[in-house]
Amino acid sequence: MLKSSIDKATGFEKRFENIGTIVFENSTMASKAVAKEIANLIRVKQAQKQPCILGLATGSSPKGLYAELVRLHKEEGLSFKNVVSFNLDEYYPMEPDSVNSYVRFMKEQLFNHIDILPENYNIPDGLLSKEAIAGYCDGYEAKIEALGGMDLQILGIGGNGHIGFNESGSLQNSRTRLVALDHITRVAASGDFSGLENTPRTAITLGVKKIMEAKRVILLAWGEGKSNIIKASVEDTVTNLVPASYLQEHNNATFVLDQAAASKLTRINTPWLVEKIVWTDKLIRKAVLSLALYLKKPILMLTDADYIENGMSDLLADSGPAYDINIKIFNKLQNTITGWPGGKPNADDSKRPERAEPAKKRVIIFSPHPDDDIISMGGTFKRLHEQGHEVHVGYQTSGNIAVADDEALRFASFVCDYNDKFGIESAEAETIYKKAAEFLKNKKSSEIDTPEVRHIKGLIRKGEARATCHFIGIPDEQIHFMELPFYETGAIKKNPIGVADVKITSDLIEKIKPHQIYAAGDLADPHGTHKVCLDAIFEAVKQLKPKKFMNDCWVWLYRGAWQEWGIDEIEMAVPMGPDQVLEKRKGIFKHQSQKDGVVFQGSDSREFWQRAEDRNNETANLYHELGLSHYAAMEAFVRWHY
């Protein structure tokens, strides 16, 4: 049981974390542990001949949990006939068969695959008249109360700390009701609805009061994107600005996290402030760089007093004086900087990030979407080619859902006009255009595109990716459109990684036999396309590891447009001058469908080229603040050891 793990909380956790937190290596392990607790609870209730009352959540966080519960039902005979469930919330208005309805989500993820009785699951009704909502919500709560309350409530957490759709400002005694959704919440959901303008403004949600009355509460959070709000919810004071912080006052609540979501917790991020630790090279580097940035001092200006006054006296005692520690960390950071990402030929490579030999390397840059290569590592991409390496690009997905409808229609119309202009008879092109136009004219919000429309959108992105490669100087035979099957659902929600995805990836690696692989190492969303693509690469590399050519293959991870590696994590930093920054911008501009009105803009209003330049500039500024040379921009990488 999870609860028993909390009883082993250290003195630190009691001091810094105001609620039980359990950190797992990954979301899969965490989900299995939570599923085991739920299964045990269901079986106990069955033995007592009582119903088991579960509060269920939607979103990406509980997907793995529901998959494991389905497995337990199918493979280990776990029955759900005594389970009565109540979902937290539903968008309003929302048709139950809409691709974004929580009714559909719960059926697809769980209910259709287990033996729960249809009359035993309850999800707020998104089709009520507004006048009927208040009475309906009272009845929803009354039904829970009549059953004796929730035995266990599963929660996710929003980026602003909301639980259910209890947004910032919700009071602890708030009841089930219709709520207006916060802009942050709507932006986070806008990808599912193909744009903010299509995203619902209201929802029906279970109130905080009912959540707090549950006998047991488990909150799930995965990925770096949740790390800041997790810290605020767990370590900071209870406030209605962060509704999840109310759980600090629950007598049986647990936050279940993966390592990325827990990364900002004090005991994990700065363990030296908590207890005496074993000072590894990695921890020393992190502590010293954090101290320098906190004090706004170059590394070489840190003093013994700085270390002592900031909780690092034991490091000073073990490895001091400050001067010696400073020199060591400064040199290590300096050695991450290289203008030769493929290795510098005929040079001493003992302190360089990459090997000098072979002088001309075969390289694969894996790009989850058709523009991640140029956005995230465009400067390095260009430099690798200019320095004579054989650079291949593997575009892992078509990226078709990120193209606006009017853009697809414009290109379809262009084909018809092209054929007409040059006297090319093509009734098929006319038919495809008319079908696409008719569909898009009557397309409902969040309706899945027809295959024709998806293909048109995919071709647009393929052409842009090819244009970028040509701009860099890469010939067609070194451009690989992989079109991994997991992505091709036509919807925002993708399939899990499959055998075919891994095989396509491993076949490309084996064909090229690279000395370097570059992959997107984004960990913000464990269910996002970048992470799924990364998992395919990791699995392919592990399968290929026994092959002789893999002995000479290094894997470097880059980040996407939103986040960068922590300064203490960076193992290779490739600097760029002002001219190179402009060249990278021109490469990004080849992706015209992703400019201006981007389908998945997110909460950041900047265009991708602006995000990339700002991020690269910030990395260069951090190096400068720490006392190193000042560059216009830097692209950063971390090596993955397999």
* 147 pLDDT higher than 90: yes
Give residue 640's pLDDT: 96
- Asked, colleague to colleague, whether 21-267 and 362-405+440-640 share their fold, the answer is yes
Give residue 267's pLDDT: 92
**Which uninterrupted H or E stretch holds 481?**
strand 479-481
| DSSP structural state of residue 449 | P
Rounded Cα gap, residues 553 and 548, in angstroms: 10
**What's the pLDDT tens digit per position in 606-639?**
788 888 999 999 999 999 999 999 999 999 999 9
Rounded Cα gap, residues 261 and 292, in angstroms: 25
Give residue 14's pLDDT: 42
Catalytic pick among 167, 354, 564, 635: 167
Residues 572 and 551 sit within 8 Å (Cβ to Cβ): no
* 426 pLDDT higher than 90: no
Give residue 68's pLDDT: 97
Residues 419 and 426 sit within 8 Å (Cβ to Cβ): yes
* 6 pLDDT higher than 50: no
Give residue 391's pLDDT: 98
Q: Would you call 539 a catalytic residue per the annotation?
A: no
Selected residue with higher pLDDT from 445 and 201: 201
**What's the pLDDT tens digit per position in 574-606?**
999 999 999 999 999 999 998 865 545 555 667
* 515 pLDDT higher than 70: yes
Name residue 451's beta-bridge partners: none
Count of H-run helices and E-run strands, the chain? 22, 17
Looking at 194-198, 228-232, 364-368, 438-442, which range is the least confident one?
A: 194-198
Q: How many residues does the chain have?
A: 642
Q: Where are the domains of the chain?
A: 21-267, 278-336, 362-405+440-640
- The CATH code for residues 21-267 is 3.40.50.1360
- Give mean pLDDT, residues 388-402: 95
All residues at 6 or more sequence positions from 510 whose CB lies less than 8 Å from its CB, including other chains: 544, 547, 549
* 3 pLDDT higher than 60: no
Give residue 10's pLDDT: 36
> What percent of the chain lies above the pLDDT cut of 90?
76
Rounded Cα gap, residues 476 and 469, in angstroms: 8
Residues 220 and 30 sit within 8 Å (Cβ to Cβ): yes
Per-residue pLDDT band for 301 (boundaries 50, 70, 90) equals very high
- Give mean pLDDT, residues 312-329: 94
* 126 pLDDT higher than 80: yes
Give the HSE-up count for residue 387: Cα atoms under 13 Å, Cβ half-sphere: 21
Look up residue 551 and give its amino acid: N
Which of these CATH numbers, 3.40.50.2020, 3.40.50.10320, 3.40.50.720, 3.40.50.300, describes 362-405+440-640?
3.40.50.10320
The pair of structure tokens assigned to 301 is 């200006």
Per-residue pLDDT band for 5 (boundaries 50, 70, 90) equals very low
Candidates 573, 513, 625; CA nearest to 377 is 573
Q: In what order do the strands lie in the sheet with 362-367?
A: 479-481, 390-395, 362-367, 516-520, 554-558, 633-640, 572-576
Selected residue with higher pLDDT from 274 and 2: 274
Give residue 7's pLDDT: 37
Residues 127 and 94 sit within 8 Å (Cβ to Cβ): yes
Give residue 636's pLDDT: 97
Give residue 189's pLDDT: 83
Radius of gyration of the chain (CA): 27
Per-residue pLDDT band for 457 (boundaries 50, 70, 90) equals very high
Selected residue with higher pLDDT from 50 and 431: 50
Candidates 522, 526, 538, 486; CA nearest to 63 is 526
**What's the pLDDT tens digit per position in 409-418?**
898 889 888 8
What does pTM read for this prediction? Answer: 0.83
- Give mean pLDDT, residues 402-415: 87
* 491 pLDDT higher than 70: no
> What is the rounded average pLDDT for all residues in the chain?
91
Per-residue pLDDT band for 190 (boundaries 50, 70, 90) equals confident
All residues at 6 or more sequence positions from 116 whose CB lies less than 8 Å from its CB, including other chains: 80, 81, 83, 85, 110
**What's the pLDDT tens digit per position in 264-293?**
999 999 999 888 899 999 999 999 999 999
**What's the pLDDT tens digit per position in 226-242?**
999 999 999 999 999 99
The pair of structure tokens assigned to 355 is 């090997």
